[in-house]
């Protein structure tokens, strides 16, 4: 559960930067959005590692 704090903060920072970039330069919206989705995936993956370890502890052994 504690691991998800980091992911939540991380995704918030990524989207903050992306939205500010889109506000400054609306023409680059598509490019910024693509890279934002990429960044969100990386940040979320770390939370998923935490979840997988929790599932392993719960269901195996």
Partner 1 sequence: MEKTRKWRWGINRWFVLAFIILGFIAARLWPPVLPDIRLPAEVIFHIGNFGWTNTMTAMVIADVILLIIALIVRRAANSKDMIPRGFSGAVEALLEVIHNLTETTAGRWTRTIFPFFATITMLVLVANWTELIPGVNSIGLIEKAAVGQPGFAVVQSFLGPTLTPEKGEYTLVPLVRTLSTDLNFTVALALISIFMTQVVGLRALGPKYLGKFWNVGGFFKRPIFGVIDFGVGILELVSEFSKILSFSFRLFGNIFAGSVLLFVIGTLVPVFAQSVFLMLEFFVGAIQAIIFGMLTMVFMSQATQGHGDHEEEHA
- CB count within 10 Å of CB 55 equals 10
Write the interaction track for partner 1 spanning residues 1-20; mark x where CB under 8 A is met and - where it is not: --------------------
Cα dihedral value 15, 42, 3, 12, nearest 10: 0
Q: List, in sequence order, the alpha helices (H) in the chain.
A: 3-24, 29-59
> Shortest Cβ distance from residue 45 to partner 1 (Å)?
4
Q: Nearer to partner 1 by C-beta: 26 or 30?
A: 30
Query: What is the binding site for partner 1 (CB under 8 A)?
Result: 31, 34, 37-38, 41, 44-45, 48-49, 51-52, 55-56, 59-60
């Amino acid at each position: 559960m504690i691991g998800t704090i980091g992911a939540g903060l991380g995704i918030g920072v990524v989207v903050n930067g992306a939205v500010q970039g889109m506000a400054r330069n609306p023409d680059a919206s598509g490019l910024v959005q693509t890279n934002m989705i990429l960044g969100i995936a990386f940040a979320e993956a770390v939370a998923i590692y935490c979840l997988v370890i929790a599932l392993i502890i719960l269901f195996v052994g």
